[in-house]
Structure 1
Amino acid sequence: MEQARPPSGGGCQGPPSCFPMLLGGQQLSLVTVHQYLGVWLDRGFTFACHVRYLRESASTRLAALRYLSRRSLGASYSVLRTFYIHAIRSLVDYGAICLTGLAPPVSRSLEVIQNNALHIMLGAPPWTRIVNFRMESGLPSLAHRVALRAAVITLQLIRCRPHLPVSALLRRLLCRPPEPATQRLTVDNTLNIIALESVLTTLSDARSSLMFIVDGTNTTISFLNAFLGRRPHIGVTAFEVSNGQDANTTQAQLSRLVSQARQLRQVSWSEMVVVVSDDPAFLTAFAEWSLKGRLLVWSTRLIAVTRIPVTRHRIMHKTFSSMNAIIMTINDSSKYYRFLQRPTLAVATEAFHASEVQGTDRSGRRKDHTAEYLAQGMNFSYRYVQTPDGTVGSKQQDGSWSGMIGLVARREADFSIGPFSLTDSRSKVIDFTYPVLVQSDMILGVRGSPEVNPWGFFLPLQPMVWLAIVISLLALPTLMYLLSYCQHTENQDGKSWPEDTFTMVRVLLQQEVSREHNSWISGRRWWRGVGLAGWMFAAVVVVRSYAGNLMSVLAVRHIQQPYQSLRHVLDDPHVTMVWQTNTSNVQYYRSVESGIYREVREAEEAGRVRHHTMIEFFNVINTMVRSGNHVLVELELMLFMMIGQHFSITGRCDFYTSKEWFLPVILSMIGQKDSPLVPALSKREVDD
């Protein structure tokens, strides 16, 4: 097999080996980079060599994209964009998890791939700004794309393989504690252990010895401890295998385990082996090693305790079907996340939420459908605890927290629905559930009154068309004058050019041309007739198009919506922004040192930013925003809800939202630090 060659460029070739190493009589070469599963790994894990490999691989595909963009082939922008996403950007998506920590120079060199593709797709000049490319194409930067792909892969790993050590590490980094079974809301281990005891009582006798084998995860170890706690008088042999490492280490540990367990079986009258794991690969590997090492003979009974769904047992069926074994599936459904006794939990809220959800609807149910859903599914009742300041919460000068976050952090409330944006400072005092949704801030402004645009007669034609008409009116008479001058067919008194220009204007305005101009097509001046005929044809097309569009343009009234981005608001010194009090976004723009959000902080220092609580927003939009000199900056979900409620009350749509989204946040529910309620809420929201 031909060895993969590293991409061209400095830093990818290895130094010569000073001490040659031989393997099978062949000398091994020392390299500083190596390709594994299509990704080039270097000594410092900078992935600079892999980025060069991506650029070289993308260069040929960019050439194909450039060929498709030629006018002769007629490929549309949508076709070019699809080709880029599936043929070029997919190269970066494949190894995105490895590209999250690139150094700034390497990251900028990676962005060149997409920048070149955008130049080709949009056909823009090379001096066009990259931000305009991204706005026009709707494509994020490759750095944001890599971060998004890495986040998706991380969440899939945490959700699908929660018992791996890397999943536990990621949960700690994401400020979500692991889910030990001892912190479950109900004693689900008790029910599972009772079921296991029933099986053991049926299959074993007094002379049987019991052997437990666990894979080393928190769940399996807690299961074993709970079992020993219920039956402390019996003798149990327990083996633990550190699962989650590389496959070779796990295989070596299983080999030693089977050898020691076989010695124990040989001195026992009969043996009952209970293996506890939620990893199908571990269960299958253990069964295979048990057969190889003759641990499991026909008289040895094997019970595999797992939470793997029945639909995935097909992977283990072939191996376990040749043994005296049964698989005991623990039903880890949401019913085991219910309280055995119905407690009353305190839910932190603020005045706006409390005023909206208190009371019942027409069917007699409480209006807080989210809290009702959680209470019904987890078997608890609840009461509201309102924050005194009516805010979400922020960190104070003395280190304490205000608002709803403060209530939960001080354990005055058990949890809060919110939702709340996930930040590092908040995660130190509270725990977040799995993300509920991702939202961004938008700008809410008042619509202008419908009016006719006084410059509407220019709108039927594009500015380039108007420019072409003006240039033609100047260029065509000049050309005729120069030709007449060269052929000496006109009197050179300077009157030919004004007369030609006046004639062109008369044709454009659909006025009659005098008869004396019929002499243009006679004799040696036939080219004047050709020019006049061409101009008449062009004038007919332009005039008909203008007349057809003018009526429709003047019939539509123009509504002013001036603030479509944060830049528009900052550039207008007469408008004031309204932000919600003590939110994470407010803390963010107060802490930045550069960029547009520093300008927001400077605007706040200049008195152009006001802060109000959420319950005051409806009064704000009906007074301040409606006056036209204020805009409201808030999450899109809240803005759409307020616009909808205003329309339901008044029957009018007086407000608009900006086209620009900014300051995206991940929103979740919150609970007390290290509370078992948080993983239960996460499971309820993810599974259902």
Structure 2
Amino acid sequence: MPTALSLREGALISFLIICVSARFHYDAKTTEFQDDEGRAIGAALEMASRSTCALVLFNDGTQSSGSVAKIIHQARPPWGVGVFHIPLHGEAEPNQSQFTQVVAEARKMRISSRCVSVVVASRSAAFLSRFAAASLRDRLLVWETRLLLVTQLDPAVLQALFRDHWNFAMMNTAALNLEERHGERSKNGPQVVRVGAWTPEHGLFVRQRQSVFPDKYSNFHGARVNVTALPWPPNWEEETLTYSPDGARVTRYSGTDYFAMETLAQVFNFSINLIPTKDFVEVTNKVEERTAFLTGLTYAIIPKRLERHDFILAYDFFYSTFSMATPSLEPRWQNLFRPLSPQVWAAVVSSLLVAFVAVRLVCRVTEGNTVTTSHEFQELFKILLGQDLDQRFARTLAGRVVFGAWLVFALVIGSAYRGNLTASLTLPVLPSRPETLREIVEAADGICMPPYGEDWKRSLLASDYELYRRLGELLYIVPSSDKALHLASEQNFAAMANRRYLDYIIALNFTEASGRSKLYVGKDNFYITPAGFPIPHDAPYKPKFQKYIFAFAEVSSNISRELRVYSGGGDARDSSCTASSNKNVNVRGDDEFVQGLYVKWRKDMVEEARKRSLKKHRAERSGKESEKEDEEASRALTLTLMQGPFLILAFGWA
């Protein structure tokens, strides 16, 4: 009796092989499907196909048109069929360029159809291997596409094909192997289990709680899933803790994206296996190579990246902006003139000259030549500085009118000047600084980004917007984000990054004990992009992961600083979200209303960074050193700030 066997990888990935073996009277010289074989193929195809799907059939040309017609007749595709022949030339391997052309045409059919079932019929392992490579490279398959391999290979060879090719192992794939022998059971890796049987009398039947096309990604059965990430606060942070007395070192992870990965791990029953990477470029390269299931960091979704890998549908946005050194006040003697604008100073000088002419005319009439010109000018200047008035000039009505008006003028101007001078010295206004994209392009000598900025540079240079192209020309790639921020704090450079990252890292590493930040973040968001977790193209687990990420990203609840989420009757976990298939999730806390757990996590991370920074500064200050720093941090006027009055005094003495 023919048997149907299922190949399932224990705990991490499960895929299926239906192995039909019977006492077929098979002639090795013929490639035609026998009657029983055709009926077995038809039963498997009937289970593989769906009522709303088209059928795509690949074969190596060794089957006659009658065999192909028999397969189509057994499947009875309701929405059409596409047949693609890729002939084998003797014992030679099939031409890869032919595969590329044929698979590209089949992909067009898959995109234009509601759903597609793909059947590959070949007894050649080389043909199946080339098909697997071409279908992966040209993105033929998605999870909704059911793939059925019809072949006749040694079970060990067939298992090796599934083990070596990502599309066969990960996608919704089954194989119909027309072979009498059975594969060995393996303790590690794929294991063969019996799921059903086929007989000429009863056809194909499957045991209870078994499926030819199971849902592989609802439960990972405690497997270790490869994930890539690097420290990028507040999304992902690493902290190494040492426990005494044994001195054991443990790495503790935190951050908004880590909490998201932890939530997925709890929902789908897997543990995170963090793959070591040297930079952010290698982080996504591991996903592109399919070494990692996904990247545990949200990346901006830009066209150049979409060419290499896919993303879990964006649920967040990156507000790309820049950071530069905060302008500082340099003590200068010119600060003495800043309380009044140049126009006011010009008006004061003009008024002084007009008043001098009026006083000169009055004195010439009343005093004759007894009062010199310098004496008249000195008297006006004395009043302007708030000094006394010589009574000789107030003997006549004209003199009293002129000097009375000048006294009122000097009182108003002097009061305004002294008030503005005091305010500008005690509460200084910082110099103007670049805030918009156009200003930063004109003011900065360069803009720095870590290695992942190569994608940004290419996208900006290819932009139709002239300002973006200019930004791409100024963009320099530096070894790390820390290097970019230190260049921005020490030179006339700007560091370009996500606004949330800049807010966090400035609060943590570039904030002084007085609360003043060495760096500032520009007001202009010059590039707003959706962001998501990078995953391989057409990853079959994308819909499952995406569903639960949206669930915790969009939840709105009254939550406290210490977030505790109870799910399915389990224990509470601090600072993380525990989810399950149970839809009733109770969130307890205070009266802080937040849209989404993701936003809550980010706010908590930034607040924690500020506290850690202040705690660090306070720990460094103790005793007299602390008092000295407090005195230096006071806003008392220094001799350098007050050099203007002393210079004027010295000028008067001279």
TM-score, structure 2 normalization: 0.41
Rg bigger for which structure?
2
Q: Which has the higher contact order (CA 8 A, sep 6+)?
A: 2
Which of the pair is proportionally richer in helix? 1
TM-score, structure 1 normalization: 0.40
